[in-house]
Amino acid sequence: MERMENNITIGKNTYIEDEKTFTDVKNKSNITIGDNVKIYGYTKFHVGMNGKISIGNNSIIAGAILISNKEITIGNNVVISYYVSIMDSDFHSINPKIRKKEAYEMAPPTNHDFIREDIVEAKVIIEDNVKIGANCIILKGVTIGEGSEIFAGTVVTKNIPKNSYVEGNPAKIYESRQK
Amino acid sequence: MLKVIQLKYMSLDKNRYVIDDWYHMPIPENVHIGKETWIHTAYAFSQYKSKRKIGVTIGHNCSIKDPLIQTGTNGEIKIGNYCTFVQPIINTNKKIIIGNNALVAYGVIISDSGYLIPPQKNTRVVKKNKISIRIGNNVWIGIKALILGGADIGDNSIIGAGAIVDFTVPKNSIVVGNPGRILPQKR
C-alpha cells in the first residue's frame, strides 16, 4: 500500500484490495492489522479520534464495515463475510435535545470533530476462530466467544459463549449447529 | 457539446475488454453473455476461478449492475433471459440456476454458504456438479435478502426484504423473515 498513515500498522503478507478502505480514518486513531490478513473490496474502516481497531493473524474480512469510537478487537483466524457491520458505540444520545444540537454541529460547513455527549460506548471483542455470516450486525459491548458461528443475517446485541451457534433476528443461541 | 452515446450491445472489444471500463481486465473466455446484456464492469470477475468449459452463461437482455461473481474451480452459474440484478454477490463452488424474468433488488447475496468469502485455494475439479441453488421463472427477490445453499424457489414466488431462504419454496408463495418462513395465503 502506498500513502499509509503513521497510525495504521500492517503486518507481513497482508493483502488489502481496495484503496478506499482507510479513507475515513481520523489522525489520532489507532489501527493494527496482523500477518497474512486478507481484506477484500467493499471493506470500510470508519474510525473516530479515540477509536482503536486491532485484527489478529490469518483473518479474512470480506466487505465488512467497522465503525469504532472506542475499541474493536478481532482475534486470529476470524472469518467475516459481506455486508457485516460491527460498531462499538451508539454514536448518538437517546435525548432528542442533545441529538438536535449534534445535528447542527455535524452539518457542513463546521468541523466534524466534536465531543459527543451522553452516549453508550463499550468494547467489542471477537475471539479466535469465530465465523460471522453475511449481513450480520454486531452492536456495542458484545464479546463473541472462541469458535462460535454467527449465521447470516443475525443481529447480535448480547455476549455469546464459547463454541455456540447463533441464528435469527432476534438472535437465538444454540449449543451446536442446527442443520 | 456533450454527446450522449447509446450503445445497443454490450461492447466488448477483440480482447474481451469492456469498453470504457475502469477495471482493466478482460472478461474470462468461459463466460458466455447473450445479446443486449449488460455487465457494467469486468471487476465482477476479479474473484472468478472457474475451470469448467462454460463457467457462467447469461441469457439475452439482462442487466446486471456492479455484481461480484465469485466461483471456486468447480463453480457454474446459469442465468436466464430478461433478468435484472443490482449489486448482487453470487458465490459458488457448485451449480446455481436462475430462471427467466428474475427481478433481484439491491445487495442480494446468492451463495452456497452463509459464511461466504472470496474463494481461497482450491484445485479439485469434480466432473458432475451438484445443484446448490435453483431459482424459477418470474421470481421477485427483495432488498438484502439472502439465498443460501439448499434453496429451491418455485416459479412466480416473492422473497421479502431481508428474508433468509435455504429450503424448498413451492410455486406462487411468499417468504419473509429471518429465519425465513412461508406465509400462508388466502385465496
How confident is the prediction along chain A (179 residues), in pLDDT tens digits per residue? 444 667 889 999 999 988 888 888 888 888 999 999 999 988 999 998 889 999 999 999 998 999 999 999 999 999 999 999 999 998 888 999 998 988 888 888 766 677 788 888 999 999 999 999 999 999 999 999 999 999 999 999 999 999 999 998 888 999 877 65
Distance of CA B89 to the CA centre of its chain: 7
3-state secondary structure of A22: helix
Alpha-carbon separation of residue B3 from A97, B6, B68, B125 (angstroms): 51, 10, 30, 48
What is the mean pLDDT of the segment spanning B63-69? 90
For the cut 80, the answer to whether the pLDDT of residue B179 exceeds it is: yes
The pLDDT of residue B14 is 77
- For B91, nearest residue in chain A (alpha carbons): A82
Predicted local distance difference test score (pLDDT) of residue B24? 86
Residue position matching grid coordinates 440484478 = B85
Q: Which of A168, A126, A133, A167 is nearest to A147 (CA)?
A: A126
Instruction: Say if residue B186's pLDDT is above 80.
Output: no
Looking at beta carbons, which residues of chain B come within 8 Å of A63?
89
> Does A20 contact B at CB distance below 8 Å?
no
Looking at beta carbons, which residues of chain B come within 8 Å of A132? Answer: 115
Q: Which long-range contacts (CB under 8 A, 24 or more apart) does A117-120 make?
A: A117/A93, A118/A93, A118/A94, A119/A89, A119/A90, A119/A91, A119/A92, A119/A93, A120/A89, A120/A90
Asked if A79's CB is within 8 angstroms of B117's CB, the reply is yes
Is the pLDDT higher at B123 or at A52?
A: A52
Residues B21 and B42 sit within 8 Å (Cβ to Cβ) = yes
Any B CB within 8 A of A132 CB: yes
Considering CB atoms only, which of A131, A153, A167 is closest to B146?
A153
Predicted confidence at residue B187, as pLDDT, reads 59
Put simply, the answer to whether A133 touches B118 (Cβ < 8 Å) is no
- pTM for this prediction: 0.87
Helix or strand (DSSP H, E) at B108: none
Q: Least CA distance to A63: which residue of chain B?
A: B117
Average pLDDT of every residue of chain B: 89
Check: CB of residue A28 under 8 Å from CB of residue A7: yes
